[in-house]
Amino acid sequence: MINEILFGVDTVSFVLIITAIFLMIKSKKFEKKESIKEVLNLILIGLFFITIVIAFDLSSSLNIFESIATKLEIIPFDLFYLGIELMIIPIAALSFLVGLMHLRESNQ
Amino acid sequence: MVLEVLNQLASYQGFIYSILFLIAVLFWFNLKNQGKEDLFKLKNIVTFSMLLGLVFIVRAFAFFPSLDVVRVPLQSSLQFMILLGLVAFTSREFKINSNQRKLQVEGLLDISVDNPMKDEIDRQIIMPEIRRLEREKKSLEKERTKMRVEKKVIDESSKKLNTRLEKIKEERKSFRDRERGLSKERLSLEQKKEAADVQESKIKSERKKLDREEKNIRPRLDSLREKENNVLDDLKQRTKKVVNLEGDLEDKKDEVEDLNSQIESEKKKIEKSKQNLESENKKLKTLKESLSNDKIFIKQEEKRLNKNKDKLWVDQDRLYEDKEVLLNDKESFNNLKFKLKQREDKIISLEDEVEDKKEEVEDLNSQIESEKKKIEKSKRNLESENEKIEKIKQKLELEFKKLDSLKESLVYGRSLIKQEEKDLNKSKNRLLKDQDTLYEDKEDLLEEKEELNNLKLKSKLREDNIIKKENEFYAREDELEEERDNLEKQNKKLKKEEIRLEKESKKIQDMRKKLDGDRKKYKDIDVKQNKLNRDSSRLDSYRSTTNKDKKTLENEWKKLKLKRKQYYDRLDRLEDREEKFEYEREELKLQRRKSRI
């Protein structure tokens, strides 16, 4: 029951992050400075990677990739999942950081 | 093995990226404290997106599987809450920013709102657009004049065509009238022919009658001769027998001789009348021959007339075909006229649109002028502010220079103090006093420094204001870009209209070509009309000849009538004479009887 509720919350949060990205892209034009636009782009990249992570969480709870991986006999899903966790989440964090650094530099 | 290694790496890396996220969050909040968040219009969105890092910090605790019972719901709920906030703030700020943009755009159009960008928009975008519109207007006016000229030409051609059609109709009517006249003449000729036949038959019957009468008169004359002879014989016998009565009889003989002479003269007259009758017979024969010749001639003419009639029928069919073609052309012409009228209406509507646009442009010009004035005012204000800022800068520079000089003087004073400390221990009190004065100077300097810092802060604030103005400038630039896009769209629309006008001009040219073809057809019809006129002139000449023949026939008929009258008169006279002769005979008989008695 709890797992099902958590799955529902995750799906809603996935939809929310997609709408947030869409709204951010739409409201990006209100920013005038190119440097701030670049910062926002970096933050958007970070958010995009976070959405990928959320999507993988959802797929792991649905066992989609596991079934695909077992059918295709390519790589075990755990390896794939761990590889993504290893690659994507640090990239998102780094994009946030780089964006903030860029903001600081541009203001100086 | 690989999985275990990867799991270990992931657990270690979870801590690493949690640290990275923490750094990012702290960095952002540090920047926020420094007041750099004002640079963003979407600052709340950035904070919420940074807060997403907390989720991954919680996620890093997956290293402890015993905490999963708490971690997973906490992670998902935190993620949900942050994302909900992110969406709410992004939508709210999007709405606010879009409303602001709308207001800015409306402010560009509003005359009362001061906006320095309006002047540039007027110069760089609206004025060239106005010029372009004026050029288009001129070209449209040219096209309009061309269309008017073409319309006039088409109207003239249509009038000419209508006049030609009317002429053709009139000619057709006259041709029909001529046809009717010809048919009437034909009928009258036929009637006359019939009448001539009837008269011929009558003449024949009269001739027969005359022959019969001749036949009847001849035996009478023979009998009269015989009777004469008998009478003469009787008279001779009686003269022989009655010699005594010779004297009386001589008188009577003389009378008889007279009577004989009269009879001879009558005989001569009868012979003459016979001769006359023969001559009349001859004349009748010649008339018959002439009539037969006339009949042949009439038949030939009839044949010719039939041929002409066939030709005329063929011409009439052609004329009807031409008429149908003309009616079709007229319909097509009317359709073309209707299309032209529709195009004219379209052109008029386009002209109205152009005039509306002109009015709009004039309104925009007036707005632009008012905005220009406002912009000039704002420019002046900005220039005055700039001058003030420059003055303040100059003052600051002067103060800095003063500070430098004061520093230099301080250094110099310290060196002097040291020299004085070394040289003059006696003047310690003075030095102390100088020190006090120096401290006072220092305090003044500190105060001046504070003032300078305040000035710096003010300048920073002004810089911030300038940055804000720059931002506004960028906003106006975006608005200008949007307006440019709109103008480009209008340009495209106008180009489409141009293309449409070009298509219409091509259609008009095609119509002209069709009209030229129609003109050629009308020329062909004129040629046919000339042919018809020639045929009608030929027919008139035939008519005149037939009329002449008719007149000659009528004259001959009159002559025949006169001759007939004369013949009947002679016959009456002869009958009268016969009656007289019989009366005299009877008298003679009575006298003879009396003499016998």
Average pLDDT value for chain B: 80
CA closest to A5 among chain B residues: B73
pTM assigned to the model = 0.36
Chain B segment 7-26 residues within 8 A of A by beta carbon are 7, 9-10, 13-14, 16-17, 20-21, 23-24
pLDDT tens track for B534-565: 887 888 887 888 788 888 888 888 888 888 88
Task: Kindly list the domain boundaries of chain B, sorted by start residue.
Answer: 2-109, 119-378+514-596
Mark yes or no for CB contact B27/A12 under 8 Å. Answer: no
Mark yes or no for CB contact A83/B80 under 8 Å. Answer: no
Cβ atoms within 10 A of the Cβ of B443, count? 10
Of B123, B118, B98, the C-alpha closest to B108 is B118
CB of B478 less than 8 A from some CB of A = yes
What is the pLDDT, as a whole number, of residue B84?
A: 92
What is the pLDDT, as a whole number, of residue B597?
A: 61
CB of B40 less than 8 A from some CB of A = yes
Per-state percent for chain B, helix, strand, coil, to nearest 5: 95, 0, 5
Mark yes or no for CB contact A104/B31 under 8 Å. Answer: yes
Q: Give the C-alpha separation, A90 to B270, whole Å.
A: 164
Name the residue type at position B508: I
Q: Give the C-alpha separation, B42 to B537, whole Å.
A: 101
ipTM of the shown complex: 0.88
Q: Give the C-alpha separation, B327 to B168, whole Å.
A: 12
What is the pLDDT, as a whole number, of residue B312?
A: 77
What is the pLDDT, as a whole number, of residue A59?
A: 79
Q: Which residues of B touch A84 (CB under 8 A)?
A: none
Of B161, B119, B120, B559, the C-alpha closest to B369 is B119
First to last CA, chain A: 53
pLDDT exceeds cutoff 80 at B122 = no
For residue A85, what are the domain limits? 2-107
Mark yes or no for CB contact A93/B24 under 8 Å. Answer: yes
What is the pLDDT, as a whole number, of residue A77?
A: 63
Mark yes or no for CB contact A86/B90 under 8 Å. Answer: no
What is the pLDDT, as a whole number, of residue B37?
A: 58
Please name the residues in contact with A47: beta carbons below 8 A apart, sequence gap of 6 or more.
A17, A20, A21, A24, A92, B49, B52
CB of B587 less than 8 A from some CB of A = no
Tokens standing for residue B267: 């005989």
Please name the residues in contact with A56: beta carbons below 8 A apart, sequence gap of 6 or more.
A65, A81, A84
What is the pLDDT, as a whole number, of residue A70?
A: 67
CB of B81 less than 8 A from some CB of A = no
Q: Give the C-alpha separation, A56 to B260, whole Å.
A: 171
pLDDT tens track for B343-387: 778 778 777 877 787 787 777 777 777 777 877 887 788 788 778
pLDDT band, residue B441 (cuts 50/70/90): confident
pLDDT exceeds cutoff 90 at B200 = no
Mean pLDDT of B77-87: 91
CB of B70 less than 8 A from some CB of A = no
Mean pLDDT of B181-193: 86
pLDDT tens track for B202-260: 888 888 888 887 787 777 777 777 877 887 787 777 767 767 766 776 777 677 778 77
* B134/chain A closest Cα distance in angstroms: 34
Q: Are B50 and B37 in contact (CB under 8 A)?
A: no
Query: What's the domain count of chain A?
Result: 1
Tokens standing for residue B246: 């010779």
CB of B46 less than 8 A from some CB of A = yes
pLDDT tens over chain A, length 108 residues: 777 888 888 899 999 999 999 998 988 888 777 888 888 898 899 999 889 888 888 877 777 666 666 666 665 666 667 777 778 888 888 888 898 888 877 765
Name the residue type at position B579: E
Q: How many CA atoms lie within 13 A of B75 on its CB side?
A: 21
pLDDT tens track for B298-308: 788 778 878 87
Can you state the angle between helices A77-107 and B2-34, rounded to 10 degrees? 20
Picking from A27, A47, A97, the nearest residue to B20 by CB comes out as: A97
Mark yes or no for CB contact A27/B94 under 8 Å. Answer: yes
What is the pLDDT, as a whole number, of residue B206?
A: 83
